[in-house]
Structure 1
Amino acid sequence: MTATLHGEPFGRTRRGEPVERWELRLPSGASAAVLTRGATLHRVRVPDAAGALGDVVVALPGVADYEAAEGYPGAVVGRVANRLARGRFTLEGRESRVPLNDGPNALHGGAEGFDQRLWRAEEVDVDGTPGVRLSLRSADGDMGFPGSLDAAVTYSLREEDGRVVLRLDYSATTDAPTPVNLTNHAYFALDGSGSVEDHVARFSASRYLPVDADLVPTGELAPVAGTPFDFTTPTRVGDRLRDADAQLLTAGGYDHCLVLDSPGSLREVGSVTGPRSGRTVTVRTDLPGLQFYTGNFLDGSWRTLEGRPVRQGDALCLETQLLPDAVNQPAFAGLGDSVLRPGEEFRSTTEYVFSA
């Protein structure tokens, strides 16, 4: 069944800029709403096992809440998602430096990344159903990155065999070589509230990326077998979360990129189930990596629409992406080129499929 699309004002930024909210709604009542600030996935409402609609991503009440929140709730992050070691990289003999905003590193595009920008919204057709395309121009030198970049993400919603499919189509072009890695930083809580440590996860990933003390990949592609990162069979998220594992201790939980099997095509790469609601989100992507993050830095400073504080363990992230810091990591060659060049187009699709 075809979704409907409706746009409306959502408020203004601290600079007085208007923010829009666009909602995709299916005849069943399932819906997804996005904001033009940060191309943010604001709300996703899908049925539980009893048919009751409920929110499955963390949503904040207003623009000021998103501006104050650290942790990128629901935002599209870029120009380069994840950590860029020392905020530096060299392309064609030219070193570029991105402002540091995460200790000695640049995180999610630097101090003023795409999550803080206003994107332009327009209605588009996606395989016969309405979608909202959010686009952004990032100028040459923006946050230290070379080349002008035109980036876009299109959100669409459809039903498929009784399931609700939220689709994100990313694209980008440039006029000079530049690294590009776009992802969405939604925080999932499939039961609506309570700990996600009881959620059950499964990922088609036989390897993962260990990190150093600053949470930058070491360059090793390590097997998950025999480690807390083995989710190749359904496993409760909290089962090994507090193991005396050096990697978990370094990150304060899971904050690691899983190297997905069979890269290159849109395929199912994993799922997470909330036991109380019976809701499952299945992830499909054509990307080689998925950053699995258990909200280790959530400290209660966010408040949900219902006024609940959001703390560590209340939500988790499933960030599909190219491998982090790939521009500085020769070992990742062959697992997706993170450098975009003139005449090329970065294209990527991720689908979150909800069922109960």
Structure 2
Amino acid sequence: MKRVRWSLLLIALSCATSKKEQTTEPWDTTGHWIIYPPMSATVYTITNSNGLKLAMTALGGKIMSLYVPDKNGVLDDVVLGYDSADQYLTGNPFFGAMIGRYGNRISKGRFSLEGKNYQLRINNGMNSLHGGKVGFHNVMWRVEPVTVNGNQGLELYYLSKDMEEGFPGNLKVKVTYSLTDQNELAIDYEATTDEVTIVNLTHHSFFNLAGAGKGDVLDHLVEINAERFCAIDSALIPTGELKSVANTPFDFRRPIKIGERIDDSDEQLRLGRGYDHNWVLAKKGNELSFAARVTEPKSGRVMEVWTTEPGLQFYSGNFLDGTDVGKGGLKYGFRSAVCLEAQ
């Protein structure tokens, strides 16, 4: 059971898991995946008593907008995205998306499990990224409005059929989004399978706490509760080496601006074109623990991440290049967002 909590002093996002007895089978069983038409992707909204407002589409379970107050109580949208669901088909497919079956990259799309070799669909150079071309970010989810501990929420369901994108086993996935009156967005993940398989679910919102499309995030302060990180190769695949953060640009054990060391002459920064690495969190077991904090000084917005997972992928928007035109016609330029993906 996976739990992640992203908490902003003025926004809070959390992924926690709730157990709720299901009396009917909510998963679609008509095919290996549900191919949109995107225009049928309903947009759902939930709010809390403080005016926090989230909009989400059934296409990829994507958070399209998240309005959060600044230090003066002024609301702004802090996640990158598009004005309509169909724009995600031609733009960045990962903005705000639910990621699965497997977040991050798998080298050459190959893995072995219980003596069997599997070949996944390739969609990122020679590798598989975020579950493949038709990953969870590109399917239609069944969505049901719910109440979670008195808070507005949405439950999402998807059945990933055996060998979808090359993964073994039928995987039933349930994801619950809810907003609390403490300005928390909780995202709860549950998955069951009828066969041994690999699963690594995560969420991929691109945050700019100054407001989506309002410049880069280089002045955002980041703190990560980790003493080690995973080294990567030229394809951004972890090598298996866990490197100490001490005396490196990867030491975020105290708050430091993203831009302070991002262009240092460090081989790992060169390979990632900035930060695009997984930090090994300083935690024991699967308890919900503090992972990271991001602060945007001008707006006063602060986001904390809490998770049960052992790792946190920190991505500094290195592949954003201004060609994506998002909500309101704003261009998303180089390093104009930060992603924190618990894995």
- Given the two structures, how large is their TM-score scaled by the length of structure 1? 0.83
In structure 1, the partner of 2:279 is 258
Q: Indicate which of 310, 319, 338 corresponds to 2:332.
A: 310
Going from structure 1 to structure 2, the CA distance change for 1:284 and 1:16 (only over 3 Å counts) comes to closer
Deviations 1:99-134 (A, max 9, x none): 111112100001111100000001233223231011
Tell me the equivalent position of 2:253. Answer: 232
User: Which residue pairs with 1:59 in the alignment?
Assistant: 81
**Residue 175 in 1 paired to residue 194 in 2?**
yes
Matched residues in 2 for 1:50 and 1:218: separation?
45
In the alignment, does 2:108 pair up with 1:89?
no
Deviations 1:72-121 (Å, cap 9, x if unpaired)? 10001110000011101111111111011111210000111110000000
* Contact residue 209 and residue 256 of structure 1 kept, 8 A: yes
Q: Does 1:77 align with 2:96?
A: no
Whether the 8 Å contact between 1:14 and 1:64 is mirrored in structure 2 is no
Match of 1:268 in 2: 290
SS of the residue corresponding to residue 115 of structure 1 reads: helix
In structure 2, what is the equivalent of residue 45 of structure 1? 67
1:205 to 208, 226, 240: 226
| Stretch of structure 1 that moved more, 126-135 or 106-115 | 126-135
Q: Mind listing any 5+ residue stretches in structure 1 that lack a counterpart?
A: 1-12, 322-356
Distance (whole Å) between structure 2 residues aligned to residue 185 and residue 69 of structure 1: 15
Deviation at 1:317, TM superposition (A): 0.4
1:283-318 Cα deviation digits (max 9, x unpaired): 111111111001111122222212111011111101
- When residues 271 and 208 of structure 1 are mapped into structure 2, their CA distance, relative to the original with a 3 A threshold, is same
Q: 2:206 aligns with which of 187, 192, 212?
A: 187
Deviations 1:146-192 (A, max 9, x none): 011111211000122xxx10100011101111100011110000001
Letter paired with 2:303: V
8 Å Cα contact 1:44-1:56 kept in structure 2:
yes
Q: CA–CA distance in 1 between the matches of 2:38 and 2:98?
A: 21
Structure number with higher relative contact order (C-alpha < 8 Å, ≥ 6 residues apart): 2
d(CA) in 2 for partners of 1:15, 1:256: 34
Equivalent of residue 109 in structure 1, options 131, 147, 159:
131
**Aligned 8 A contact 1:65 1:302 in 2:** no
**Counterparts of 2:292 and 2:204 in 1: how far apart (Å)?**
17
Instruction: After TM superposition, give the deviation of residue 17 of structure 1 in Å.
Output: 5.6
User: For structure 1, which segment, 25-34 or 13-22, has the greater mean C-alpha deviation from structure 2 after superposition?
Assistant: 13-22
Are the structure 2 counterparts of residues 106 and 16 from structure 1 closer, same or farther at C-alpha, using a change threshold of 3 Å? Answer: closer
1:269-288 per-position Cα deviation (integer Å, ceiling 9, x unaligned): 11101122110111111111
TM-score (norm 2): 0.87
Q: Is 2:313 the partner of 1:291? A: yes
State the one-letter code of the partner of 2:253. T
- Amino acid of the structure 1 residue aligned with 2:329: G
State how far apart, in whole Å, the 2-side matches of 1:303 and 1:59 are: 9
Work out the percentage of aligned pairs sharing the same amino acid.
42
1:26 and 2:48 are equivalent in the alignment:
yes
Corresponding pairs, count: 306
